[in-house]
Structure formats: structure tokens, C-alpha cells
Structure 1
Amino acid sequence: MHIESLVAAVDVFGTSVSADVLVVFAVLVAAVALFVSEAVSPDVTAIGVVVVLVALEPFTNVSAADGLSGFSNPATVTIIAMYVLSAGVQRTGIVRRLGVEVAHLTRGDENRLLAAIVGLTGPIAGIVNNTPVVAVFIPMVTDLANEAGVSPSKLLIPLSYASMLAGTLTLFGTATNLVASELSADLLGRSFGVFELTPVGIVVFLVGGVYLLTVGKWLLPARVPPGSRTERYEVQPYLARVLVTSRSPLVGNFAQVVAEDARRDLGIDVVDVVRGDQHFVAADSDRQLEARDILTVRGNPPSIQRFVEYAALRQLPRAAVTDAELDHPERSTLVELVVPANSPLEGETVESARLRERYDAIVLAVRRAGGELVRDGIGATELRGGDALLLQTTAEAADFLAETDDFVVTNEVFDEVMARVRETGVSRATVVAVGILLSVVAVAALGVLPIAIAALAGVVAMVVTDVISPNEAYDAVNWNVIFLLAGIVPLGIALRETGGAALVADAVVGATAGLPILAVLALFYLLTGLFANVITPVASVVLFLPIAVSTAESVGADPFSFVLGVTFAASTAFVTPVGYQTNLMVYGPGGYTFTDYVRVGGPLQLLLAVVTSVAIAFWWGL
């Protein structure tokens, strides 16, 4: 006997709801609660959903094969391949080259710089994964803002938003588009062509770009003052240079030991040692201190004063500590980095993360996600996604930091990057990588091969031609997104198979009775966008797309138009810093607060709800 028959249907608002639907709704509510609270990471929540749905198969109608279908879904395979293809192109330096050339033309003019950011990010992020694009552009945008005397806060949210708007230009633009295409194929027997989104995507990008250049520019705050990194993090009062006198007990002691003792006993960091024209990192050195050595120390002023008195040192009051004193790329360097979402270091303190031991790094300041600057008591600061750290480390450790998944490094010495790019010219790898990517797009667009197979062929070509190594290819994939996608797909299956999607659609139809179809489409845009801001774009597409299709069928509208409305909405999660990875990447470096995203992104989301709905109605009909 089917278990459902043992449980009576429940009457909800006059509608008989089966036990199957109630169970699926319970799983859905629990999943949404976990997504919003982030009690566990979204990918772990998604995998947990799979386990629960399959375990409750008599209620959910999700078999083991259905539960694992997300891993074999063509969208999942295509997204994996596109991560690798994007990494191959990005590693050739072509994105940096384009950024440097445009930056050279826009130096000193805020309006031209803002227009270049929006105009350049769009075409690139329309095909290449936008996360590495934004990571490459953050240091360039910040340095150019400082040269122009403009707050970086005026430019970094536009950088993130432009990359998100560009995701609507092609099927490859975002993982969300690929997922929606496969769901559309399952529900309607019609997937998206490579450039099927492009006509409306161009309208969305242009309207969004004009908004960012006008209204958005006026709404954006100047949270971070322009200036060098030490000025932006306001660390000068916590840095001092002290002279080792001939009578100091530190003479003859190893620099590394002195640094450890000063941190343990006084809570200050000995950052580096200058001896004549020599310069070395104290914590990484086995040299003995000598009289006339100059130490750079970091700590609160009273602690620095105690250190000076205890060790018979002499503070040099006129020796301001700037980037120039701390940044010596051949020996030591200043590094600015961001804690990404789902970093293994989230929840750790700076002290427990052991950054000093792991990366030979001294953290000079932390800009919390939300704008707060921490320059004292740094060790006890708990790391959160979006936090930006300014640290000094060795040149070798800086290279290692750029490769780790713990952080996203967001600074480079701009002038050196520009010089290096212009000296190297266009490499063979650049031509090969771009050629492979364009070939994949062409083959998929012409229907020669399915998009997943074309993308996998591109991956093979990049590995065979040594554009990217197998290990680099595996490292390029954001596995958190892959597991999130593979885990959330079965929830959409459960909603369809149990009638949950149809039930919600009936409720929507009843609530919107008498409204024009265009208004119903705009409502779905707003609802999807709202959820995308809190439970990730991919999850919102999986949940809302079946409901949108059922609603369209109930009101006599074209279901494909509603599929497109949900797809575009999920790619425009502007209102929170956690709605999209690039929003979180600029959160700390821009010194933004949560309300900055609401103030700038809210009107944009409402504007695009109208513009996108009208554009869909014009191009595809209702």
C-alpha cells in the first residue's frame, strides 16, 4: 500500500493538499531557512536536500536516479567546462591586457573611467566567467581611482553590477542561464540558443549601464578615501619606525626571535628591518639585529611606546610609514585580499587562521564586510565572507596566496603590471585560448554539437595545447557551485512530480486575478530576484521556473516568456552583497555597508523588472 494513502489530505485555504506536497514544502522551507541563515554552506544544504528527498521517496517521488540526476545534467557538465575554458583564457593575461589598455586611455577622468569599466566588463563577462574578470579589475580600478582622486567606492559596485548585467547577454553568461535552459528543455521541450537571450540582454545591459553612469553614480557613497593602501586602511597611526641604539638589549638578537617576543609580550608586530640599503622581513629572517638598524613596527601607540622604552629604542617621529617603505616586490610586499564566500577560513579569527605561520604574513588592518576598520586587536577578529585584509608578506608567499582558495588577492602594483603587459605582447597561448573559446561558441551556436559536448571538446583542446594543465583545470572549477546546482535540481523535480509547483501556481493565479499578463510576468521577475538575493540565483531558478510555467499555462500566456522572465531576474541579484559572488568580492575593498547595495541595487532591480518584462513581451510576445 502506498504510504500516501495512510495520511489524510490536509485542507489549506480551501484547497486539498496531499501529504506528498506537504512533505516537499517542508523540505523546501527547511532548505530556504538554511540558505538564508547560512548555518551550513549552501552546497552542503543542497546535498542534504538530495539525501532527504530520496530517503522520503514515497512522498517526494524522487528516486535515487532522480536525486543524482543533477550531477549528470548537461547544464552541470557545461558549467564545469566553462569554468575551465574561462580559466584558460584568463591565465593568458588577455583580460589584464584589455584592462591595462583601457585604463591607459581613461586615467584622471572619473566619467571616462566609469564608462570604461561598464563598457569593457560587459563584453568580456558575457562569455568568460565574471568572477576572475572582477578579481583582475579590482586592483586596476582601485589604483586608477586613486590617481584620479576618486573614492574606489564610487567604482567597485558598478564593476560588480556591470559583470552581472553582462551575464544576460549570452547563454554562457552565467551558470543560471545554463540551468534555466536545461529546465526549459525538460518542461517545454525548448532550450535556449547561444544567442537567444542576446536581444533582450542588450536592452538590459544598456539600461543598466545608463543607470550606473547617472543615477547609480549619484547614489553611490564615497566610503573609502582615495590614496595609497596604507592611507585607505588608515594604518599610519598604528605604524612607526624605531632606531636600534647601541645600548639596546636587542642588539645581537635574531630578528625572528625579537619579532616573536614583541608580539607575545606587547602585542605588537615587528614588520621589517632596514639596514642601510638592505631591507628584510623580520619574522622571516634569521639575521641578528645591529645598532643603527631601523625597525618598522605595528601596534597601538601606547604599546609601541612601551616597546621603545623597554628595548632602549629611539622613535623616528618624522619617518612616516607609507606604501613605499613596506612594498619591495623583490623582498616583501603589501597584499590586499578578500575572504570569499565559503572560504575554509570563515569563522576563524586572524590568530587561529595562523596567517603568520602559513604565509609569513603580518596583518596590518582588516576592513570588515560592512565598512568597519579594525587596526587594533586584529588577532581576535573573526573572519567573514567579504572581509578585506591588508597584510605584508614575502614575495614568495604573495605568489602562494594568489593560488590558494582561502582568499581572493585583489591588489597588484599597477604600473608594473602595465609595463609587463606591454613588453610581453600577445602570446601564442592567448591566440590559441581565445580561438578555442570562440570555436566552442560557434559550434554550439550552429548546432553542430550539443553545448555540453562542444564545451568539453574545448577543455580537451586547451589541455592538449598546453594552455592549461590538468591540475589547473580541476582547480579552476568552483566545486561549491557545482554541488549546489547538482543538489538543488532534485528539489525542482519533487515540486513538479508531487504537484507542488501547480499548487503554488494556482495560488498565484488567484492572487493576481484581473491583472494583465505583463504585470504577472513582472511579479515573477520581482519574486525571483528577491529570492536570488538571499538563496543564490541557481536555487531561485530551480524553484520558480516550474511555478512560472504552470502559472503561464493557467492564465493562457506563453510559458517560454515566463521562463525568460525568471532567468533574467535570477541573474540580477543586486540588492544584497551575498546575492552574487562578485558583490561579495567588492564588499570589503569598497568599504560598503549592506544598505549601500539596497540603496543602489533596489531601484535598479525595480527598473529592470519593468524594462525586462516589456522587452520580453515585445521580442517574444506573451
Structure 2
Amino acid sequence: MSAEILLVFGILIVVIGVLVTEVMPLEVLAMLVLGVLAVTGLVSPTEALAGFSNPAVVTIWAVFILSGGLTRTGIANILGRNLLKVAGEGESRLILLVMFVAGGLSAFMNNVAVAALMLPVVMDICRKTGHPPSRMLMPLAYGSLLGGLTTMIGTPPNILVSEALRANDLTPFGLFDFTPVGIIVMVSGMLFITFVGIRLLPEKSAMADGEATGTGDVNLMLEQYHLEERLFRIHIPKDSPLVGHTLASSHLGSRLGLNVVGINRGRRSFLAPAASDEIMGDDELIVEGRLDRIQEMNNWGQLLTLSDLSRENILIEHGMKVAEIQLAAGSPWIGKTLSGLNFRNMFGLNVLELRRFERRIEYNVKSQQLRAGDVIVVHGPADKISELGQVEGIMAPVVLGLSDIHEDYALGRKVRILRVPNRSRLLGMSVSESRLGDALDVQVLSIIRESGEAIIPASDTIFEAGDMLVVSGMSDLIAVLLMQGLEAVFEKGTDGVNDISLLEDDKVGVLEVIVSPHSNLNDQTLDEINFREKFGLNVLAVWRKGRVIRTGLRDLQLQFGDALLLFGSWKKLAVLGREPDFVVLTETMQEPAREEKAKTALAIMAAVLLPVIFGWVPIYIAVVIGAACMVLTKCLTMDEAYRYIEWKAVFLIAGMLPLGVALDKTGAAAMVAENVITIMGPFGPYGVLFGLLSITFAATSIIPTAALVVLMVPIALQTSAGLGISPYPLMMGIAMAASSSFTSPISHPANVLVMGPGGYSFMDYVKLGLPLTLVILALLMIVIPVFWPMTV
């Protein structure tokens, strides 16, 4: 085994490991692979970059734009509205028709786009017929995948294997060469799902007949998210410090984790109140939150008492100082955050505020990216401040006097001194266990022991009786909470909210949305995108990969396929429906499609396909012209065209194609092919076909389909050459198997998309996907040799 083969196998192992674990973005992986292959000389620089101009890659991104044109012109909406008229309300007939419509569209559209487009249509059908979404949505996803098998442009693997044949001086597959095998597999798979597989699906969240809004039974929707036990009433006493505060300024959400979903005031009820609404005495708030968290905070009541010590000099007593430190131009801290530097634990100092060009930053200081010239105001022991002056890139600290602290910074007025009494439940508890900072957004600057020693507390510092806490960031509301308890702020009712359908009327309601496949919000938090402020909607819960997330939602990084349960006014929900980052699960709430352009979009698709069928124009030229025509005729805008391109897939394929070239050039593919022949060769060509199909089917559950095809193609070509058999059945089989991603939710984005609305768990996909995969494997072994003989 040569050094080159060892090197390419090493790169391949790392690539597969990253593809499976997703420890880095796949686009980044693709670019790194491309670069490493060129630097190591396994491929030439020109070959490394050739993937971006490869006809298969060009075809794929142009097909995404064509698919976007069909999506924005409402082709699926038109078909969906007529679906019930044809199918009636019988479950089996409905499921079969949903799959056939999805499959028919997927033959010429991106299957993820088809699933996203059909999802609200199918949800509306479920509401009108009372069928559970869990019985309809997985068939929808699988139907879109099966439909993609029937044409060359139906799925990227088909395009890739066709281009691989052309690149190896073989006749490529034509547009409809996949159709005979694909149609048989599609029809058989759909019949299996309808009459056998449907029995393996859960029956969850059956929907009742919807109101005019089309929302269905809100009780059942909230039951899926397990919110019944989290809804309760609280009463606001007339002397509560909350009276006169707006919901935003009360910080009930950010500090107590409570979502106020309604206010009962006298005989009137206000659902989905605005953040600017004021709280009044005797109000009854309907809130959603964690009872154990509230009880925990209630236990702090009267556990801290206000010390009678003067706070005028407290910041500079007991050996403590306040100082300014400035970042020099070449500081290694530039571009980093204080949180990332682990500043407090590393240097034993508090950060009071950050000054940047005369602008003072007091909130979220730890998450600010530091810049040259930034001035950090720190507090702590004098010796620690002196040591900080020795750090590279930090100018000498400037210690502040008492007048500077009070007049310039007004820091002293923001500090309170609290004493831990002997009966306090804080005794024996660490600072991190108390959660004072996390829950109430206060900072314990220092702890003064009974001995007079002052310390900067670490997360594991234990509270002792008689401790005095020097605390900053405390509002009057928090002072009341810490010293009197929640009873002084509000009274929790003895009963919960039994009839949660009260959360819905003609003005407000509950609705599910999905993070769109075309969203730009991946890895951003709701707090970072200002979701509450921008849309005026409450996020009650998130369904992600089979589990419900109901806490820490503000800081939860969004992912494609997340289902968000929203509460708010119908008008604001309708506004959200026009956002391309979300798919609202009812057609009436979506942005109106350009249905007047539907005939134009269909005419463009026909104009693209006909020249390809007759062999007048290569497909990669036809689809590029068609994509341009979609924009020129205003079936979609250029911004929408960019959004509909799955750039992750484009970069992944373009970056992985050189790895396939390296496998071929170094002889690594030939070596793998020899082992395949050695193991499966005694069983003949059919045994080799079965082996390659089995490997591809197994790998497609954990490796993106496009990357898998790029890796399998050189092995299949070398195997066919070694056995002296036709490469076409092997290539056809790899394309079909790679696109049959049924056995897990993560194996294909279409599966992820329906997971939340359907309430599916990981095992639900295995229960139906595994037997369906075995059926298709058996079918391919029978059908492929009939249409594509094994002999040359």
C-alpha cells in the first residue's frame, strides 16, 4: 500500500467521522478537504477547484432555482386544494394521494422543497378530516423521497452518477433513464406504506374540526408539548412592586422564566398582552412557566436581610479597589469575549462595566467582543489588579478614587449590601447552586466574612452564616424578592388552567411553525434575533428531534426542522407567515403564492425538459437558462432564488468531488474494489450488486447522500471494470439506494422537517423506514437487472 493511498484513506476516515458527528459545518469540511487534497498533491489545484464548475454542481443549483419558481407560484397549493375533492376522507386513500402528489412534484422539484410546500396543506387536511398528523406526515416525507427516484433531476445522487459516467467517457443517464426502475420502486413503496407501514406509525394528536382560523383543537396541540401542567394563574396584590410596571419592565420572563399569555382584569380578559401593557393591582395573570423554579425562588424570601452598613465606600474597603484597564492595539484579547477568556475565574476580578468611545456598556458585558481601546472597569483585590497590569496587551491599570467611582461611574449607587442570616437556606450552598446570578441577573461582587476578610467569590464558594454580600445590578423588584419572597410580588393561585382552549379566540391563538429549510437563522438564538420584540409572539415550547424543550428558550440555538409552538394574535401570526425563515403549519397563514404565474412556471419547466429529452441541449445548459427565465418572468425574485439554493449541498458536493478524484487517481478505489470482488465475487455479479446496495443503504442513514455517492462512484466503476460487467446497473443501484433515506430522521432534511409536527420519535422512523428499505432493496435486486443487464 503506497503512501498516497494511506494518505487518502486517512483523509477519508476523518471526512466520514466529521460527516457522522457534524463537529463542524459541512461546508467548512468540504473546503478543508478541497484545500488539503491540493496541498498534499493528491490532486492538482485545478482539479481541486473543478467541482465548482462541474456540470453536476451547476445542474443541482439551477434545479434548486427552478424548484423555487414552482414553489412560489403555488403549484402544490393548487393541487392540495383539489386533493380532498378527489380523495374524500378515507385515510388510506388520502395517504396514497398525498404521497403520489408529493412524488409527482419531487420528480421535477427538490424533495425538501416539496415536503415544506406540502406540509401546511397536509396539516390543513388533517384538521378538516380529523386524521392524526402522525399518520400523514411521514408518508408525505417518504413520498417526496420516492418521487425523486424517477427522473435525473429529481434528486442530486441521480445527477451525480450521470455526470460521473460522462466524466469517465461513458454514455450518461438521460433524463428519464431512471423512470422505469424509479416508477416501480415509487409505486411499490407507496403501496407498502399505505397498507402495511401505516400500521407501524403512532397515532398522536388527532385534530378536531378547526375554526375559521384553521387551528384545530388547541388542547390537543398543547398536550403534545406537555404544557398543561405549566399553565397557572397568579394574583397581583394592590401593593405589589409589579403594579405600574409594563410586562417588559417587570422582567417576569427574563428573570422568573414566566410567559404571560393572558390577563384577567375584573370581568374582562386580555389574551396575548403586549410587552408594553401595564400590570395593575388585583390583576390575575395567566402564565406559563416552571413551578419548581418559582418555588425555588420563593424559598429565598426573607433569606437575605438588608445590612445596616454604609455602602458609600464598600467597593474600596477590605483591600478592594476599582480600576480601569485599557486594551492596547496588539492585545491578544481583541476579538474575544470576557466569558470566553473566563475572566473572573482566571484573574479573580469582577467586571463592572465596559467603556467604548465614551459609550458605557453595562449589560451583557461578558458577551461583548473586545476591541482595541476598550476600557474595562474592574473591581477586586489590589494585588490582583496589579498582576493584571503584567498581562500582554494590557496597559497599566488606573486605580479610581472614591469621587471617580461615585461621580463619574455612579457605581456606588448600584450596590447593595445583604446579610445572610443564621436561618438562611443559602447556608452550605455554593454561589452557582444558589443561581442568584442566573435567575435574577445580579452579581455578587464580594463576600465579607464575619472575620472581616473580603473575597471575590468563585462558583464553588460556600455561603456561611453572617456573610455580607456586596451585590450589584439589583432593582427594587429583586430586592423585594430576595428579602420578602414572591408572596410580596404575587400570589400563586391554587388551581391551574384546566381548559387551555381559553387561550384561543377570534383574535389570538396557538400555532405551530417550523424553521424553514431555506432559513438563515440556523445557530442563532431567539434572543439574538429579538424574536419577541420583532414579532410580538410568545414561544411556549420547541419540539426538536423527538423531544420537547420548554426551558431556556431565549438562549436556545435554532436548528432547521425545529417546531416552535407560538402564542399571539392572529394578525401577528399572519405576519410571521410571510417570513421565509419559517413555515407556518396552515395554508391560510402563509404568504400568498403568485398563482397567476403558475402557468408561466409550468411552461418554463416544459421548455427546459423538452430539449433535454430530444437531446438538443445538455441538461446543465437547459436548467441554467430555465432558472434565469424563472427570475426574468418574476415567478420568483433574485433574492428568493438565492434563498432556495441549498448552498450547504452545493459546497459539500463541490468540495467532495476532488476526494472522489483522489480515490481514483491514487488507486485507493481500485484497492477497495478488489476487496469487494474478493468478498462478493464468488456470488457473481448479483452478489456484487447486492453488496454495493447494502453498503449504500446502511451508509445513507449517517452520511449525506451527495457525499456518499461521490465516495461510492469510483468504487463501483472500478468494481465493474474488475469483473468485466456493465457499470450501469451498479451506478443505477447506488443512485437509488443513496436517495432512499428512510431509516432515521437525520438521514434526510425532509424527514427532519416533519418530525416536530408529526410528534415523531427517532424509533418511529426505524419502525417504518427499516422494513421499507428492505422492500426496496429486494425490488432493486429484481428490477435493475431487467432494465440494465449486468453483462457489457
TM-score bracket, shorter-length normalisation? 0.7 to 0.9
Compare CA radii of gyration and give the structure with the larger one. 2
Supply the distance in 2 between the matched residues of 1:235 and 1:215 (Cα, whole angstroms).
Answer: 33
Task: Name the counterpart of 2:344.
Answer: none
Supply the distance in 1 between the matched residues of 2:675 and 2:563 (Cα, whole angstroms).
Answer: 44
Query: Does 2:167 correspond to 1:179?
Result: no
Worse-matched range after superposition: 453-462 or 100-109? 100-109
Supply the distance in 2 between the matched residues of 1:109 and 1:317 (Cα, whole angstroms).
Answer: 41
Q: Given the alignment, which residue of 647, 665, 672 partners 1:479?
A: 647
Contact 2:597 2:635 in 1 (8 A): yes
Supply the distance in 1 between the matched residues of 2:130 and 2:510 (Cα, whole angstroms).
Answer: 24
Superposition deviation, residue 152 in structure 1:
2.0
Scaled by the length of structure 2, what TM-score is found? Answer: 0.68
Superposition deviation, residue 367 in structure 1:
2.1
Contact 1:532 1:573 in 2 (8 A): yes
Quote the RMSD (CA, aligned, Å): 3.2
Counterparts of 1:93-242 in structure 2, within 5 Å, are 93-103=74-84, 105-106=86-87, 108-224=89-205, 226=207, 227-228=217-218, 229-240=221-232
Superposition deviation, residue 384 in structure 1:
5.3
Task: Name the counterpart of 1:22.
Answer: 6
Q: In the superposition, relative to structure 1, how do residues 201 and 518 fare at CA in structure 2: closer, same or farther (>3 Å)?
A: same
Task: Name the counterpart of 2:327.
Answer: none
Contact 1:47 1:487 in 2 (8 A): yes
Superposition deviation, residue 140 in structure 1:
3.1
1:598 aligns to what SS in structure 2?
helix
Counterparts of 1:80-479 in structure 2, within 5 Å, are 80-103=61-84, 105-106=86-87, 108-224=89-205, 226=207, 227-228=217-218, 229-240=221-232, 250=242, 252-258=244-250, 261-273=251-263, 281-282=272-273, 284-289=274-279, 295-301=285-291, 310-311=488-489, 322=500, 325-326=503-504, 334-338=511-515, 345-346=522-523, 355-357=531-533, 359-369=535-545, 371-376=546-551, 378-379=553-554, 386-393=561-568, 395-396=571-572, 399-400=575-576, 403-405=579-581, 408-412=582-586, 414=587, 416=588, 427-479=595-647
Structure 1 residue identity aligned to 2:156: A
Superposition deviation, residue 56 in structure 1:
0.6
Supply the distance in 1 between the matched residues of 2:755 and 2:633 (Cα, whole angstroms).
Answer: 37
Supply the distance in 2 between the matched residues of 1:244 and 1:97 (Cα, whole angstroms).
Answer: 51
Q: Hey, which of these two has a bigger chunk of helix by percent? A: 1
Supply the distance in 2 between the matched residues of 1:277 and 1:191 (Cα, whole angstroms).
Answer: 71
Task: Name the counterpart of 2:454.
Answer: none
Supply the distance in 2 between the matched residues of 1:484 and 1:30 (Cα, whole angstroms).
Answer: 15
2:541 aligns to what SS in structure 1?
strand
Task: Name the counterpart of 2:707.
Answer: 539
Task: Name the counterpart of 2:481.
Answer: none
Query: Does 2:231 correspond to 1:53?
Result: no
Contact 1:327 1:333 in 2 (8 A): no
Supply the distance in 2 between the matched residues of 1:31 and 1:401 (Cα, whole angstroms).
Answer: 38
1:391 aligns to what SS in structure 2?
strand
Counterparts of 1:40-79 in structure 2, within 5 Å, are 40-57=24-41, 60=42, 62-79=43-60
Q: In the superposition, relative to structure 1, how do residues 25 and 398 fare at CA in structure 2: closer, same or farther (>3 Å)?
A: farther
Task: Name the counterpart of 2:762.
Answer: 594
Spell out, residue by residue over 1:19-58, the C-alpha distance to the aligned partner (whole angstroms, 9 max, x if none): 111111111111111101111122221111101100011x
Q: In the superposition, relative to structure 1, how do residues 515 and 49 fare at CA in structure 2: closer, same or farther (>3 Å)?
A: same
Superposition deviation, residue 328 in structure 1:
5.8
Worse-matched range after superposition: 287-296 or 507-516? 287-296
Q: In the superposition, relative to structure 1, how do residues 185 and 317 fare at CA in structure 2: closer, same or farther (>3 Å)?
A: same
Supply the distance in 2 between the matched residues of 1:66 and 1:166 (Cα, whole angstroms).
Answer: 33
Supply the distance in 2 between the matched residues of 1:515 and 1:342 (Cα, whole angstroms).
Answer: 48
Supply the distance in 2 between the matched residues of 1:89 and 1:129 (Cα, whole angstroms).
Answer: 10
Task: Name the counterpart of 1:13.
Answer: none
Superposition deviation, residue 589 in structure 1:
2.3
Supply the distance in 2 between the matched residues of 1:341 and 1:35 (Cα, whole angstroms).
Answer: 21
- Equivalent pairs, count: 589
Worse-matched range after superposition: 525-534 or 44-53? 525-534
Runs of 5+ consecutive residues of structure 1 not aligned to the other structure: 1-16
Structure 2 residue identity aligned to 1:269: N
2:14 aligns to what SS in structure 1?
helix
Task: Name the counterpart of 1:38.
Answer: 22
Scaled by the length of structure 1, what TM-score is found? Answer: 0.86
Contact 1:298 1:304 in 2 (8 A): no
Worse-matched range after superposition: 501-510 or 513-522? 513-522
Contact 1:576 1:594 in 2 (8 A): yes
Supply the distance in 1 between the matched residues of 2:589 and 2:511 (Cα, whole angstroms).
Answer: 15
Supply the distance in 2 between the matched residues of 1:510 and 1:605 (Cα, whole angstroms).
Answer: 26
Spell out, residue by residue over 1:325-359, the C-alpha distance to the aligned partner (whole angstroms, 9 max, x if none): 34767x7763422476997544x666677543554
Superposition deviation, residue 497 in structure 1:
1.1
Superposition deviation, residue 595 in structure 1:
2.3
Supply the distance in 1 between the matched residues of 2:560 and 2:206 (Cα, whole angstroms).
Answer: 22
Superposition deviation, residue 63 in structure 1:
0.8
Task: Name the counterpart of 1:519.
Answer: 687
Task: Name the counterpart of 1:7.
Answer: none
Superposition deviation, residue 396 in structure 1:
4.7
Structure 2 residue identity aligned to 1:409: V
Supply the distance in 2 between the matched residues of 1:93 and 1:153 (Cα, whole angstroms).
Answer: 25
Contact 2:288 2:540 in 1 (8 A): yes
Spell out, residue by residue over 1:368-403, the C-alpha distance to the aligned partner (whole angstroms, 9 max, x if none): 31x222335545656555442212356457645753
1:167 aligns to what SS in structure 2?
helix
Structure 1 residue identity aligned to 2:513: E
Contact 2:521 2:558 in 1 (8 A): no
Q: In the superposition, relative to structure 1, how do residues 112 and 292 fare at CA in structure 2: closer, same or farther (>3 Å)?
A: farther
Supply the distance in 1 between the matched residues of 2:518 and 2:623 (Cα, whole angstroms).
Answer: 27
Q: In the superposition, relative to structure 1, how do residues 323 and 564 fare at CA in structure 2: closer, same or farther (>3 Å)?
A: farther
Runs of 5+ consecutive residues of structure 2 not aligned to the other structure: 208-216, 299-484
Worse-matched range after superposition: 263-272 or 533-542? 263-272
Q: In the superposition, relative to structure 1, how do residues 318 and 580 fare at CA in structure 2: closer, same or farther (>3 Å)?
A: closer
2:605 aligns to what SS in structure 1?
helix
2:260 aligns to what SS in structure 1?
strand
Q: In the superposition, relative to structure 1, how do residues 147 and 315 fare at CA in structure 2: closer, same or farther (>3 Å)?
A: farther
Worse-matched range after superposition: 101-110 or 129-138? 101-110
Supply the distance in 1 between the matched residues of 2:156 and 2:575 (Cα, whole angstroms).
Answer: 29
Q: In the superposition, relative to structure 1, how do residues 310 and 79 fare at CA in structure 2: closer, same or farther (>3 Å)?
A: farther
1:164 aligns to what SS in structure 2?
helix
2:746 aligns to what SS in structure 1?
coil
Q: In the superposition, relative to structure 1, how do residues 224 and 527 fare at CA in structure 2: closer, same or farther (>3 Å)?
A: farther
Supply the distance in 2 between the matched residues of 1:243 and 1:387 (Cα, whole angstroms).
Answer: 34
Q: Given the alignment, which residue of 556, 559, 563 partners 2:731?
A: 563
Q: In the superposition, relative to structure 1, how do residues 505 and 389 fare at CA in structure 2: closer, same or farther (>3 Å)?
A: same
Supply the distance in 1 between the matched residues of 2:202 and 2:269 (Cα, whole angstroms).
Answer: 42
Supply the distance in 2 between the matched residues of 1:442 and 1:293 (Cα, whole angstroms).
Answer: 68
Q: In the superposition, relative to structure 1, how do residues 410 and 523 fare at CA in structure 2: closer, same or farther (>3 Å)?
A: farther
